[in-house]
Structure 1
Amino acid sequence: MKNLKIAFLLSLVSAIGFIAAIPYLLAIGGDALAMVPIPLPVAMTIFVLQGTIMAFLFSWIGLTFATKVGMDAPVLRKWLYKTGGESFNKKGIIQAVIFGFAATGLLLLLEFAVFQPLLPILAEKAQNVEVSVWAGILTSIQGGVYEEVMVRLFMMTMIVWICSKLFGRNSSPKPWMYWTGIIGAALIFGLGHLPAANVYFGEITPLLFIRTLALNGVAGILFGYLYWKRGLEYAMIAHAIGDIILHGFIK
C-alpha cells in the first residue's frame, strides 16, 4: 500500500502524456497508422489505455523493489505520504537541467557529426516530416514520465535488484551494480526502438542498428545516474527537457 498512491499518480500523468503525444504520433507515423486494420480513434484509445495500465504496473513493481536497493521517487513520496522522502532542492534541479541539455547536445553531436554523413537517408527522412512546435513539446510528457517509469524505475531497478540478490550476499548494492542497471536499461531501451526504426526506414542495417542503440542509450546513462543519485523525479526533468528541445525545436 505504501507505493500505490505514487503508482496511481504516475499512471495518471502517463495517461495525460499518451493523449498529449497523439498529434506528434500522427505527424511522424501517418503512413504506418494508415495501415492499422481498426479505426484510428479505436487504435488511439487502445494505445492510451494499454499504456496507462503498463505505467501503473511498471510504477508499482518498480517502487516495490527500488526501496530495497536504495532508490525511490523521494519527492512524490513526501508529497503523497508526508513521511520520508525529500522536497526538490535547487542543486538537484540545476543538475537535472544541465544533464538534460548535455544529453541533447550529445545526441545532436552523434546525429549530425557521425550518423548523417554516413546515412544520407536520415536527412531525407527529416525533410519529409512536418511536426508543429507544440506537438513536439507535448510529447515530452510521455517521454519524461512514462519512459522514465518504464526504463529507469522498472528496468534499471530490477537489474540492480537482481545483481544485488545474485552477488550482494544481502549487503547494500555495490556501485558496479547500479552501473550495470544504468547501462543495461539504456541498451534494452535502445533495442526496443528497433521495430519502429525498421518500419520508419524499411530495414535495419548494421549502421542503423548502432545508431538506434547509441541515440536511445547515451541519454539513458545520464538519466539513470540521476535516478540513482537524486531520485526518479530528477531523471524525469532531464528527460523532459531533452524531449522538448529535440521534438519541439529541432526539426
Structure 2
Amino acid sequence: MTSKYYFNWPLLWLLFVLGISGQLSLLPVLNTLLSAVAAPLPLPQWSLILLSILQTTMILLCALILGNWCSVRVNLGAPLFAAWLAQKPIRWRDVQAPLLMAGLVAILSSVLLLCLQQVAIPRLPADFFANSSKLDLPLYSRLLYGGLTEELLVRWGAMSFLLWLFYRIFCRGNLTPSRTYIWLSIVLSALLFGLGHLPAALMLTTSANSFLFIYLLLGNGIFGVAAGWLFWRYGLEAAMLAHMLIHLMLYMAN
C-alpha cells in the first residue's frame, strides 16, 4: 500500500550534506573564538570543538527530519532538489521565477539592512563592533552557513513544523493551511532566526543595551520574513539563494 505522503530519504541526505558543509565552514572561526577566551577552558580545545560539531550536527539532523516530514504535509518543499534527485527534467521556466525573486528579495533586503546599519551604529555598544571585526566570518562561511545551514534550520525545520502545527490544530477541515497561519509561521520563524543570533552577539559586548536586541531582531527579522515568503512561494532553493546573495552584497558593501 502506498501512502499519500512519503519520507524522501534522498532529499534528506542531500540536505544533510549541504547543512554539514555550512557547519564545517565555521571550524576556523570556532578555533579562533576558543583561543581568545581568557578564562581556563573546562576541556581541551579539540574536544570542545568536537563536542560543538556533534551537538550542531544532531540539531541539524532533527531539523531536517522534522522538515522532511512536515513540509510535504503543508505544501512546502524543495522542488528543484527533489526534481534533480528524481532525475526529472528541470526546465528554464522552472528556475526563472525562483532566480528572479531571490535576486529581487536580496537586493531590497540588502538596501534595508544597510540603512538600518547606518541608523544603528551610533546607538550600539562600541565594543560590539570592535569585537565583531576581530571575529569577522570569512565570505565562504557566510555563504555556506548562512545560505545553507541557517535556512535548513529555520525555514526547512522550524517554519515547516510551525505551519504543520497550526494546520493540525486550526485547519483540519481544510485541504491546505490558510494564509493567516502561513504568515504566522513565517513571522514566528523569522523571530526565532533573530533570537538565534543573540547568544553570539552577547559574547561580543560587555555592555548590551536594548537597541542591540532591537537591531538584531529587526535586522534578522527583515530578511527572515522575506526568506519565509520565498520558501512558501518558490521553494527552499529560492530562500537559500537569496540568503547567499544578501551575504555577498553586504560583504561587498562593507
**TM-score, scaled relative to structure 2:** 0.85
State the 1:162 CA deviation.
1.5
Amino acid at match of 1:234: A
Amino acid at match of 2:102: A
Show the counterpart of 1:186. 190
Partner residue of 1:205 out of 187, 205, 209 = 209
Amino acid at match of 1:108: L
Amino acid at match of 2:164: W
Answering whether residue 98 of structure 2 is matched by residue 98 of structure 1, we say no
CA distance in structure 2 between the partners assigned to 1:65 and 1:225 by the alignment: 17
Amino acid at match of 2:100: I
Show the counterpart of 1:220. 224
Can you list the C-alpha shifts for 1:15-47, whole angstroms capped at 9, x where unaligned?
Answer: 122122223445567534975433333333333
Contact 2:131 2:205 survives alignment (8 Å): no
CA distance in structure 2 between the partners assigned to 1:48 and 1:244 by the alignment: 25
CA distance in structure 1 between the partners assigned to 2:132 and 2:169 by the alignment: 49
Structure 1: segments with no counterpart, 5+ residues: none
State the 1:152 CA deviation.
0.5
Show the counterpart of 2:151. 148
State the 1:231 CA deviation.
0.3
1:27 and 1:62, CA in 2 relative to 1: closer, same or farther beyond 3 A? Answer: same
Show the counterpart of 1:233. 237
Which segment drifts farther, 30-39 or 2-11?
A: 30-39
State the 1:83 CA deviation.
6.1
Query: Counterparts in 2 of 1:33-48, with a 5 A limit?
Result: 36-48=41-53
Show the counterpart of 2:3. none
> How high is the sequence identity, in percent, across the aligned residues?
28
Which segment drifts farther, 121-130 or 142-151?
A: 121-130
CA distance in structure 2 between the partners assigned to 1:219 and 1:187 by the alignment: 10
1:75 and 1:205, CA in 2 relative to 1: closer, same or farther beyond 3 A? Answer: same
Show the counterpart of 1:49. 54
State the 1:227 CA deviation.
0.1
Contact 2:23 2:53 survives alignment (8 Å): yes
Amino acid at match of 1:110: L
1:105 and 1:41, CA in 2 relative to 1: closer, same or farther beyond 3 A? Answer: farther
CA distance in structure 1 between the partners assigned to 2:39 and 2:244 by the alignment: 29
1:169 and 1:243, CA in 2 relative to 1: closer, same or farther beyond 3 A? Answer: same
CA distance in structure 1 between the partners assigned to 2:235 and 2:106 by the alignment: 15
State the 1:103 CA deviation.
1.9
CA distance in structure 1 between the partners assigned to 2:34 and 2:146 by the alignment: 17
Answering whether residue 174 of structure 2 is matched by residue 168 of structure 1, we say no
Can you list the C-alpha shifts for 1:83-142, whole angstroms capped at 9, x where unaligned?
Answer: 699885122212112212222222111111x2112225267526852648xx22333111
Answering whether residue 117 of structure 2 is matched by residue 117 of structure 1, we say no
CA distance in structure 2 between the partners assigned to 1:125 and 1:56 by the alignment: 34
CA distance in structure 1 between the partners assigned to 2:253 and 2:131 by the alignment: 10
Partner residue of 2:69 out of 64, 67, 71 = 64
Partner residue of 1:10 out of 12, 15, 31 = 15
Aligned residues: 247
Contact 1:74 1:84 survives alignment (8 Å): no
Contact 1:74 1:85 survives alignment (8 Å): no
SS of residue matched to 2:26? helix
Partner residue of 1:137 out of 137, 140, 147 = 140
CA distance in structure 1 between the partners assigned to 2:66 and 2:90 by the alignment: 18
1:218 and 1:29, CA in 2 relative to 1: closer, same or farther beyond 3 A? Answer: farther
CA distance in structure 2 between the partners assigned to 1:237 and 1:19 by the alignment: 19
Task: Please tell me the root mean square deviation across aligned C-alpha atoms, in Å.
Answer: 2.7
Amino acid at match of 2:210: P
**TM-score, scaled relative to structure 1:** 0.86
CA distance in structure 2 between the partners assigned to 1:36 and 1:106 by the alignment: 40
